[in-house]
Amino acid sequence: MNIVELAISDITEKNIDEFKVNLANDVISNMVPYINKEIVDKIKRLKDLKQSLRSKKELILEQKNELEKLLKTFDRKKKIKLLLDRALRLTIIGSLDDPNIRSEISVMLKVIDDLPEDKLDFYISEMMRIVSRRFSTIDNKE
């Protein structure tokens, strides 16, 4: 196949820059509807994702607060259990012969659910001290 070059040109050298600008404008005007639709869709998707992220963060924060409350309650119940266990040990080993200790423990047991954390810690350490003192006196007698 032979290619024949002709000297006839569709574009003159004078208007080549103008032709380039017109061609670029035609391409842009044909592509703008597609580009705009894609941009609008992506912006909408981005807004939806941001809203979803915001709601998930709020949900995570609520669940975190709930878990912190549950952990605090669990720690408190664990201390109360330990305190009741120590009171049981005192009863078993017979260290409740002292009326002061007996009355203090009975009052403590009545209001154990309303005691603040520092009081619970204080009673746990006191009962541990009494139990250890009782065992040390038993060991010294033997």
Q: For 103-142, write each residue's pLDDT tens digit.
A: 877 888 888 888 888 888 888 888 888 777 766 765 555 5
Supply angle C-alpha 56, 58, 60, rounded to 5.
Answer: 70
Q: What is the rounded distance in angstroms from the CA atom of residue 78 to the CA atom of residue 76?
A: 5
Question: Any idea where the domains of the chain sit in the sequence?
Answer: 16-141
**pTM for the whole structure:** 0.57
